[in-house]
Each structure stands twice: as structure tokens, then as C-alpha cells.
């Protein structure tokens, strides 16, 4: 376990540089856009029953805002002898590289490689997430707000994005959804996402991660309202149930901390 003695953070400047680079690449993907198509336009090319409504992607603004808070807080935490912001080690910097690599792959229609990069990003964020939960000191509010919450949000969204990315690849090549059919595959993945939200919330008493899952499920239900009524209802019910469990987990966390 990490402790206050581990507060020294040799990666803080690297994190700043790579996060700025990530923000620039994301801006270029929208403003140029990279590859001549914006992210949503490419998503529509591989439309399937797990494609979320466009508003779902607005969560990136919150994710990046919190990540900016994380890299800034790293300097404060080191001065205060807090180990929390140093806990990700080099893995946050690595996640930034995968984030940028995924954008290039996606924008230039390298869908197969984008799935590989997305899986690597997911694994990297899982490592970051677990390391931020292994800090051997009582966390202050600032540690929770600027270290734990950003990566709960980030991992939650990338968990769903991985499912959507794989579904886009399946749609591109018409793999037949592993014999489940379009609707069957969508329902299985929706239930899997919901169960993942429950599992993480229960194991780590994390109410933020499942809230992101609920947000994504709701966005899918909105987008699929006219495409498949069964998928829409499955997504909205799963969204409500996961959101309620997330709020209960948040309430329990606050009560336990008091």
C-alpha cells in the first residue's frame, strides 16, 4: 500500500504535458476535424443498437475538467505530503498516450486498431483506478474530489466506450453479433454494463462509476427509441436501477465517512 512517504511525484510535469497534448488532439479532432470527419459522423457510420445519443459525449468536458484538477492538485498534494495524487505512478501518462492514439485510429477509420487501443486504455485506467484505492492514508475531501472522482468518471465512461467500440467493429464487418442477433447482443451488453456498475459500486463503495454507466445507458435508450423498443426499454430500466443504486452507494459513503 502507498503511504504519505510516497508523496513524491516524479511524473507530475509529464502528466501536465501529456494531458495538454491530449486536450489539443481532442480539439483538433473536433475543429479540423482529423481525417475529415468528426467523431459523431464516424460513429453514425457504424450505427448499431448500442450507439448512444450525441449528448452522451458531453461527459468528456467534465472528465477533462476533473483531469485538469488532478494534474494541478498533484503539485499541492506533494507539498502537503499527500500520497494520493502520486498513486497512479506513470499510468496516467500512459493513458494519455492511448487516448491520443485512439483518436487518431478512430478518426482515420482504423476501427480494428481502435478497439485494440481502447482495450489498452481500459486496462491502463483499471490500474490507475486500483492504485488510487490503495493509498495508505485517510483521504481528505480534496483527495477524493481531485483523485478518486476523476478516475471513477473516466473509467466508467471508457468501460462503456469499449463496449460501444467493439459493437461498432461488429457492425462494420457484420459478424452476426456472435449468433445473438442485433437485439440479443445489445440486451446482453446492456445487462453486462449494468452488472459491472453494480460490481464496482459494491466492491469499492464507489457511487460515481455506476452513475456514469447509468448516464450512458440512458443515452442509449434515447438514441434507440425509434430503432428497437425492446432495447430502449431494457436500457432505460437498467439506467434507472443503476442510478438508484449509485445514489444509495454515495449516501452510504457519506454516512460512513461521518
What is the average pLDDT across 98-103? 97
Q: How many structural domains are present in the chain?
A: 1
What is the Cα–Cα distance from 30 to 39, expressed in whole angstroms? 7
Render pLDDT for 230-257 as a digit per residue (tens, 0 to 9).
999 999 999 999 999 999 999 988 777 6
Asked, as a colleague might, if the bond just before 52 is cis with ω within 30 of 0, I would say: no
Mean pLDDT across the chain: 91
pLDDT of residue 183: 87
**Sign, Cα dihedral of 136, 99, 204, 142:** positive
What is the average pLDDT across 213-240? 96
Render pLDDT for 46-67 as a digit per residue (tens, 0 to 9).
888 999 998 999 999 999 999 9
Helices and strands: H and E segment counts in the chain:
10, 0
Confirm if 2 and 12 have CB atoms less than 8 A apart: no
What is the average pLDDT across 24-44? 86
| Greatest distance between any 2 Cα atoms in the chain | 56
Confirm if 207 and 247 have CB atoms less than 8 A apart: yes
pLDDT of residue 1: 47
Q: Containing domain of residue 118, as a range?
A: 4-257
What is the Cα–Cα distance from 106 to 90, expressed in whole angstroms? 25
Amino acid at each position: 500500500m502507498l503511504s504519505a512517504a510516497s508523496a513524491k511525484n516524479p511524473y507530475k510535469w509529464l502528466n501536465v504535458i501529456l494531458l495538454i497534448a491530449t486536450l489539443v488532439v481532442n480539439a483538433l479532432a473536433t475543429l479540423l476535424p482529423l481525417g475529415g470527419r468528426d467523431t459523431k459522423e464516424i460513429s453514425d457510420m457504424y450505427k448499431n443498437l448500442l450507439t448512444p445519443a450525441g449528448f452522451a459525449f458531453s461527459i468528456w468536458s467534465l472528465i477533462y475538467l476533473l483531469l485538469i484538477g488532478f494534474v494541478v492538485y498533484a503539485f499541492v498534494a506533494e507539498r502537503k505530503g499527500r500520497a494520493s495524487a502520486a498513486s497512479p505512478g506513470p499510468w496516467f501518462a500512459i493513458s494519455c498516450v492511448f487516448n491520443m492514439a485512439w483518436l487518431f485510429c478512430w478518426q482515420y477509420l482504423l476501427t480494428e486498431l481502435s478497439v485494440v487501443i481502447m482495450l489498452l486504455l481500459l486496462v491502463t485506467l483499471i490500474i490507475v483506478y486500483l492504485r488510487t484505492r490503495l493509498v495508505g492514508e485517510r483521504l481528505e475531501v480534496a483527495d477524493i474530489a481531485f483523485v478518486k472522482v476523476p478516475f471513477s468518471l473516466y473509467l466508467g465512461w471508457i468501460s462503456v466506450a469499449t463496449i460501444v467500440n467493439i459493437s461498432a467493429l461488429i457492425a462494420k464487418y457484420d459478424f452476426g453479433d456472435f449468433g445473438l442477433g442485433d437485439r440479443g447482443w445489445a440486451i446482453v451488453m446492456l445487462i453486462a454494463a449494468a452488472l459491472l456498475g453494480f460490481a464496482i459500486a459494491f466492491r469499492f463503495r464507489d457511487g460515481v462509476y455506476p452513475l456514469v454507466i447509468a448516464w450512458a445507458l440512458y443515452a442509449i435508450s434515447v438514441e434507440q427509441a425509434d430503432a428497437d423498443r425492446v432495447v430502449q426499454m431494457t436500457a432505460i430500466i437498467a439506467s434507472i436501477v443503476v442510478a438508484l443504486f449509485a445514489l444509495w452507494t454515495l449516501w452510504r459513503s457519506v454516512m460512513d465517512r461521518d
